């Protein structure tokens, strides 16, 4: 699986400064787990339902400087959240979010992009079970259905604290939204935005500043 812009953005944007225990849901290649390891001194668990993807993530973690702090577990998140006795300061995920759309002939790509294996409501229900009281769930989602996702999360007891609109190119509408949920409502939701490319197609300075620690030669 390739590493996408969504994961890099989320891993760079999330507020992880005080996290001691972190969970990455649907880790894929392990990119978010490794970004969290690079940014913190936390112990990091990462769950992945696909055996092939989990094996790839394990290999990537083993080859990294943070192999002693990253554990990759092949398991469905629903099963993990039901059986885990751990609580997490931070849960992060670039979740599958396509529903009832054309699937890829590649089964691994289908699992990573379509939500049949992890519907959104099951993701937030599971997160509530294993979040510390002051913990946070951070996701990147399509902007077009953000409001319905916020309502679904609120029904399970999670509320938005920060929302960052992601604009792929200057002058276009937002295509993604990064969102930080917590278990209690804030007085004010912090609204942000970031533009990836300018009108000429080059990376913006704000994008380079946010993500430069994770790219070579950016």
Task: Delimit the domains of the chain by residue range.
Answer: 8-214
The Cβ-side half-sphere exposure at 61, using a 13 Å CA radius, reads: 27
> The pTM is what?
0.90
Q: 109 CB contacts (<8 Å, ≥6 apart)?
A: 1
Q: Per-residue pLDDT tens for 107-133?
A: 544 444 445 689 999 999 999 999 999
The per-residue pLDDT for 25 is: 97
Q: Identify whether the C-beta of residue 90 lies closer than 8 Å to the C-beta of residue 46.
A: no
Q: Which CATH number, 3.40.50.150, 3.30.200.20, 3.20.20.210, 1.10.10.10, labels domain 8-214?
A: 3.40.50.150
Q: Per-residue pLDDT tens for 17-69?
A: 999 999 999 999 999 999 999 999 999 999 999 999 999 999 999 999 999 99
Sign of CA dihedral 199, 9, 61, 24: negative
The mean of the pLDDT values for the chain is: 91
Answer yes or no: is pLDDT of 98 > 70. no
The per-residue pLDDT for 112 is: 42
Provide the 10 A C-beta neighbour count for residue 133.
Answer: 8
Q: How far apart are the C-alpha atoms of 12 and 204, rounded to whole Å?
A: 15
Q: Per-residue pLDDT tens for 189-204?
A: 999 999 999 999 999 9
């Amino acid at each position: 699986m390739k590493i996408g812009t969504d994961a890099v953005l989320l891993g760079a944007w999330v507020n992880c400064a005080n996290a001691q225990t972190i969970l990455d849901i649907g880790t894929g290649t392990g990119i978010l787990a490794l970004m969290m390891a690079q940014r913190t001194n936390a112990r990091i668990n990462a769950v992945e339902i696909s055996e092939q993807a989990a094996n790839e993530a394990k290999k990537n973690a083993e080859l990294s400087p943070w192999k002693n702090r990253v554990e990759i577990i092949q398991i469905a998140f629903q099963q993990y959240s039901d059986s885990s006795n751990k609580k997490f300061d931070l849960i992060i995920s670039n979740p599958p979010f396509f529903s009832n759309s054309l699937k890829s002939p590649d089964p691994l790509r289908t699992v990573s992009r379509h939500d049949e294996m992890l519907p959104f409501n099951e993701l937030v229900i599971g997160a509530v079970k294993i979040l510390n009281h002051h913990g946070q769930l951070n996701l990147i989602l399509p902007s077009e259905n953000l409001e319905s996702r916020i309502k679904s999360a609120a029904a399970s007891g999670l509320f938005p604290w920060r929302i960052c609109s992601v604009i792929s190119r200057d002058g276009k509408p937002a295509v993604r939204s990064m969102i930080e949920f917590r278990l209690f409502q804030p007085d004010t939701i912090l609204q942000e935005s970031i533009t990836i490319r300018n009108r000429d197609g080059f990376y913006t300075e704000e994008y380079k500043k946010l993500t430069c620690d994770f790219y070579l030669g950016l």
